[in-house]
């Protein structure tokens, strides 16, 4: 792992005083598509079932095996856009032609109750979350190489070559912004990445 700061240092975007009423930890996990983020999230939740997973809302159609309310809340574009105007989303973005967003009240309520939250979002969403929740622990998952990432995307067998090419362009852009994150984990070996991530999360949970 390439650590950019010690565990006790503030997020570089944190310009606020430490007068927050947040009692829980907000862990943000971001990664380019195909870097293993979903698998790592599941491993964290299996290790720490008391951590609450923030289920995002999206306007894209469910993929095979995905369940509404478990993987995502699948909503219409009309409903999502209405939420933007109402200030419902703590963060939102349009990615791969679809909208994704995180419910602000969900996060505030759980943090005030001392609950830890795991948030699976992209770079755009992270920037928005850090403005409102600057004490968040932002972690970026990197693939071992560009070639390895493209191989993983292709092996899924769910996307056309055109979609894969678009996802690769987006992935390369996201990876250029990894310095926004407090910690970077390179997912060369899945078991090692899981161990590194759970150790990092445990360290912050002990501090709180």
CB contact at 8 A, 138 and 30:
yes
The average confidence (pLDDT) of the chain is 85
pLDDT tens for residues 28-44?
999 988 788 989 999 99
Say whether pLDDT at 192 is over 90: yes
What is residue 20's predicted lDDT score, i.e. its pLDDT? 56
The answer to whether residue 111 sits within a structural domain is: no
Alpha helices in the chain (DSSP H): 37-47, 77-85, 104-112, 123-132, 146-156, 161-175, 190-207
The answer to whether residue 90 sits within a structural domain is: no
The answer to whether residue 48 sits within a structural domain is: yes
The answer to whether residue 42 sits within a structural domain is: yes
Say whether pLDDT at 178 is over 80: yes
- The CATH number linked to 32 is 3.40.50.300
The answer to whether residue 71 sits within a structural domain is: no
The answer to whether residue 123 sits within a structural domain is: yes
pTM of the model: 0.77
The answer to whether residue 60 sits within a structural domain is: no
pLDDT-derived band at 12 (thresholds 50, 70, 90) equals very low
The answer to whether residue 83 sits within a structural domain is: no
Total tally of structural domains belonging to the chain: 1
Dihedral of CA atoms 146, 36, 135, 183 in degrees, nearest 10, equals -50
Q: Which domain holds residue 154?
A: 2-53+116-207
Name 130's Cβ contacts closer than 8 Å, sequence gap at least 6.
11, 13, 14, 28, 136, 138, 180
């Amino acid at each position: 792992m390439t650590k950019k700061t010690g565990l006790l240092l503030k997020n570089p975007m944190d310009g606020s005083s430490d007068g927050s009423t947040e009692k829980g930890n907000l862990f943000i996990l971001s990664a380019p598509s195909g870097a293993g983020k979903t698998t790592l999230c599941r491993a964290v939740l299996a290790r720490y079932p008391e951590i609450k997973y923030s289920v995002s809302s999206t306007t894209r159609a469910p993929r095979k095996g995905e369940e509404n309310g478990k993987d995502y809340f699948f909503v219409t574009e009309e409903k999502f856009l209405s939420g933007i105007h109402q200030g419902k989303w703590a963060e939102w973005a349009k990615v791969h032609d679809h909208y994704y967003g995180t419910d602000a009240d969900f996060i505030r309520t759980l943090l005030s109750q001392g609950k830890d939250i795991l948030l699976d979002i992209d770079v755009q969403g992270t920037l928005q979350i850090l403005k409102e929740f600057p004490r968040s622990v932002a972690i970026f998952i990197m693939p071992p190489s560009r070639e390895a990432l493209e191989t993983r995307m292709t092996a899924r067998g769910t996307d056309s070559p055109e979609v894969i090419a678009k996802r690769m362009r987006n992935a390369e852009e996201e990876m250029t912004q990894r310095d926004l994150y407090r910690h970077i984990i390179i997912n060369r070996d899945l078991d090692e990445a899981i161990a590194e991530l759970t150790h990092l999360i445990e360290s912050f949970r002990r501090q709180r």
